[in-house]
Chain A
Amino acid sequence: MAWQKQILRVNLTTGSCDIEPLNMEWAEAYLGSRGLGTKYLYEEMDPAADALSAENKIIFATGPLTGTMASTGGRYTVVTKGALTGAIACSNSGGKFGGELKMAGYDLLIIEGVSEKPVYLHIEDDKVELCDASEIWGQTVWATEDLLAAKYRDPLMRFAGIGQAGETLCRYACVVNDKHRAAGRSGVGAVMGSKNLKTIAVRGTKGVRAKDPKAFYKIVNEVNARMTDREEMSRDGTLAMIDVTNGFGSLPTNNNRSVRFEGANKLNPEAMHTPNENGHTNIVTNGACFGCTIGCGRICKIDPTHFSVKDRPEYHGASGGLEYETAYALGSACGVDDIDAATFAGFICNEYGMDPISLGGTIAAAMELYDIGAIDDSVTGGIKVEFGSAEALCQIAELTGKGEGFGADIAMGSKRLCEKYGHPDLSMTVKGQEFAAYDGRSMQGMGLAYATSNRGACHLRADPYGHDFETTDIAGKAQVVAESQRDVAFLDSSGLCLFPGGCGWGLEDYRTLVDAACESDWNAERMTETGERIWVLEKLYNLKAGLGKKDDSLPKRILEEPADVGTGKGLVCRLDEMLPEYYQLNGWDAEGVPTAETLERLNLN
């Protein structure tokens, strides 16, 4: 058990909603969530199809541990072809939506086709209906949730949907659930928008059953006792990282012109916890996803006197605040050291449904284009798009959310923007997706992880952190990246969060939980093999989509311009030396194509 053994298939073209049995052979081979969603997508759609066409499908996939009592067991993944990248997209989110979908009885929700008119999906256990969305189309994520919550009057109903950014096909529109948790990356919200699907409202009452509930309960408690190092994560969230990377010299700043940001101490946990000159404190409390015993979420308020929200009381309440990635993207990447402005831009991302990493990365690229004179006020509509301008950040964030003015350019993403204005090298992207908050010169393993990430630049597809903070020497990096990519693929497919891994859990703790919850024997060898099978299947999807070795690369800046300060000062990313070894360790040929033996070993042929 732990799987519900059912999927819900919704065809928006025909309006049909069908419950089908889960393919258990695939569940045994791909576990759930990211892995299983990818298997269904791979089998059911042509990877070469356009991401925004009717041929693309969008899959909401829970894992076997989603909805169980295992700590952090509330995760789900949105799997589709990415609108930003044209590659496999698998965006993971927490909050409470995933657990609710699982409790409604479904491991996967597969959405296909395109609706003629805007609709939303309403699920209450076996009762499933597509409803007219004309009243909520054009509304923000927040307003949509409020309107539907008032209609259904069920405080336990959960929502995952798009804002105006998804409707207007912003390339990095995301799917937001529970108002401020998001399946953020790669443009999964644009795919939802292209299908005229506004939101999914779900309520589930069925519960989730482990194979031996008593034994599972015992193991959950044993494993929880090993989560010994979570205090810091609860207190400072992922934002604690900003001091580490800034000290180390790997905090991307001003579109990766630098790797250290002078203003980092205005965005760090101290700044978040300390009252400002008006006596306003940014953080209100921490927040937790379904069943999580860590609670790394930041619930924050903007200073009501700040220019961004002055006379706008609708933004004076508490909502999801800065995490490390948002503090980078809406802070150091743009040279902005104003915590209220970055918090406001983050609120706008949640409200309109945009990935803050890609929004910040694209604004940072625009700031560099403006700085070198490639764009001017005639393009920006008079906005002074200068590095460090909190005003420009806030203004552009809102325009992008609405798809208006210069925001329509920013909504293309950094790659398309930089190409449009004649400077493709200024786009800090891999496979069209903006960098996360680590620089691949001082963190060579992260450089390799970005380049080889199947969904485009991503900090959560591998775990090179320990090795990178230990040494800039590239010996051993290929192995660390290749092995951790498999481990992460397995963990992402379980329905649990990755962060317990930084709070005391090891791989064995995750494996023990999966083994205790699911049928059959999930030993360590099977865990590694399953992770590798998922990783290679994603790679095969990308190859069929037309991506290849040329896409396993990094921007010229990271390969040719040495880091300016920090432990990596003077270094460029030595990708060309690491990549061949990485391919070889994976059992792929020199072009990065898995060999016949590798496919056979993984039962992928």
Chain B
Amino acid sequence: MDVSVTLFGGLRHFLPAGSSFNKCSIKIDDGSRLEALLRLLPIPPEKKFIVIINDQKVSREDYAEITINGDDEVVLLPPIKGG
């Protein structure tokens, strides 16, 4: 199935080739976990980010537990400071 993933701020520079400005569609197997989806994004391991699925913030400990559905809106935010 295809899942829509949005990468905000500087994270957008790690979108797979051919993506739009900050969005991409990632193909994953049905029943895949969030952890597997994140592994498919070429984000360097030192880059920190926050994951939001359907407006709900996901804790890091739950990455391996959460199952992704085809209509999920997955958003990754960099933890930047304000100005």
Contacts and interface: CB of A to CB of B under 8 A. Distances in A.
Interface of A: 231-232, 236-238, 240-241, 243-244, 247-249, 270, 296, 323-325, 436-438, 459-460, 463, 465-466, 469-472, 498-499, 501-502, 565-567, 569
Contacts of A270: 21-22
B57 A567 contact: yes
Contacts, number: 80
Interface stretch (B26-34, B35-43, B48-56): B48-56
B10 A244 contact: no
B77 interface: yes
Given A247-B77, A472-B57, A437 B82 contact: yes
A249 B75 CA distance: 12
Given A236-B10, A243-B8, A249 B50 contact: no
Interface string B2-19: 000010111000000000
A567 B57 CA distance: 6
A466 B55 contact: no
Contacts of B8: 243-244, 247
A436 B22 CA distance: 26
A565 B82 contact: no
Range of interface residues on B (Cβ < 8 Å): 10 to 19
A240 B9 contact: yes
B45 interface: no
Contact of A241 (B57, B75, B83): B83
B55 A324 contact: no
Contacts of A437: 82
The winner among B6, B77, B80 for most chain A CB atoms within 10 A is B80
A498 B22 CA distance: 28
Contact of B82 (A238, A243, A472, A566): A238
Report whether over half of chain A's contact residues are helix, strand or loop; otherwise say mixed: helix
A466 B83 contact: no
Contacts of B50: 248, 469-470
Given A249-B55, A566-B55, A459 B82 contact: yes
Contact of A465 (B55, B56, B81): B81
A506 to B, nearest CB: 12
30 contacts: A232-B9, A236-B9, A237-B83, A240-B9, A241-B9, A241-B80, A241-B82, A243-B8, A244-B8, A244-B77, A247-B8, A247-B52, A247-B75, A270-B22, A324-B82, A459-B82, A460-B82, A466-B81, A469-B50, A469-B77, A469-B79, A470-B50, A471-B57, A472-B57, A501-B81, A502-B80, A565-B55, A566-B55, A567-B52, A567-B55
Contacts of A498: 81, 83
Contacts of A499: 81, 83
B10 A231 contact: yes
B6 A240 contact: no
Nearest to A465: B81
B79 A465 contact: yes
Most chain B CB within a 10 A radius of its CB, from A241, A243, A465, A567? A243
B83 A463 contact: no
Nearest to A501: B81
Contacts of A466: 79, 81
Given A247-B77, A248-B77, A324-B83, 5 more contacts: A232-B80, A240-B10, A243-B8, A244-B80, A323-B83
A566 B53 CA distance: 10
B73 to A, nearest CB: 10
Given A243-B9, A567-B55, A463 B81 contact: yes
Contacts of A465: 79-82
Interface string B53-83: 0011100000000000000000101111111
A472 B57 CA distance: 9
Contacts of B75: 247
